[in-house]
Chain A
């Protein structure tokens, strides 16, 4: 029961994080020439600097929740997948773990970059957005392949 609750919380935090980081990325990439009444212009119009702290907190929370469920995954999901010789779900999930780990280490630099606008804030936001999208999609696909007991 507890792993299911944690997985649901992990998913909900993931959804919020996906929304926030996508909003910030679209705000950064929006061409200035786009007409202001278009949906994309209105979507990106918000102050994307305001998302930085929320993204950092949500990312940390999401990886922490994932870290709590991880032993259950290792014992009850990954081992049966290994026994069925299906290697690709294990490979893409390993990448999810590592990208999540790298993302956690990226957060202090991401916060500093947004504070100082040192020039790397665009690149860091896009890297973080890629990690969040990859982790969300892989988590969903692997959970469909074989969910937690």
Chain B
């Protein structure tokens, strides 16, 4: 049951973290640096590109784990048949956020 709650919360949290730019950390692959939140690397002009994906997955995992522990069992049982709608909704929101490239 906790897996169901985790997946639902993870999907929502992932879409939220992407849409509102809330990665737990940023990774700068040029120098292999990690920075909390959306902090820029030291000397950000030469720091190279920042990667938010790992941080977004971490944010979503953290929120998903918290919700999975706290969510009442009855609510999880009610939600379970509709679980597939959560990732689908998150994917649509991701497509909307990425729309700037197309």
Contacts and interface: CB of A to CB of B under 8 A. Distances in A.
A95 B14 contact: no
B60 A101 contact: yes
A97 B95 CA distance: 11
A79 interface: yes
A104 B57 contact: yes
B95 A95 contact: yes
A90 B2 CA distance: 35
Number of chain A interface residues as a range: 35 or more
Contacts, number: 118
Interface in A44-75: 67, 70-72, 74-75
Counting chain B CB atoms within 10 Å of each CB, which of A88, A99, A126 scores highest? A99
Interface string B66-90: 0000000000000011111101101
The 8 closest A-B pairs by CB, nearest first: A109-B7, A91-B101, A123-B84, A105-B10, A108-B3, A71-B29, A119-B81, A112-B3
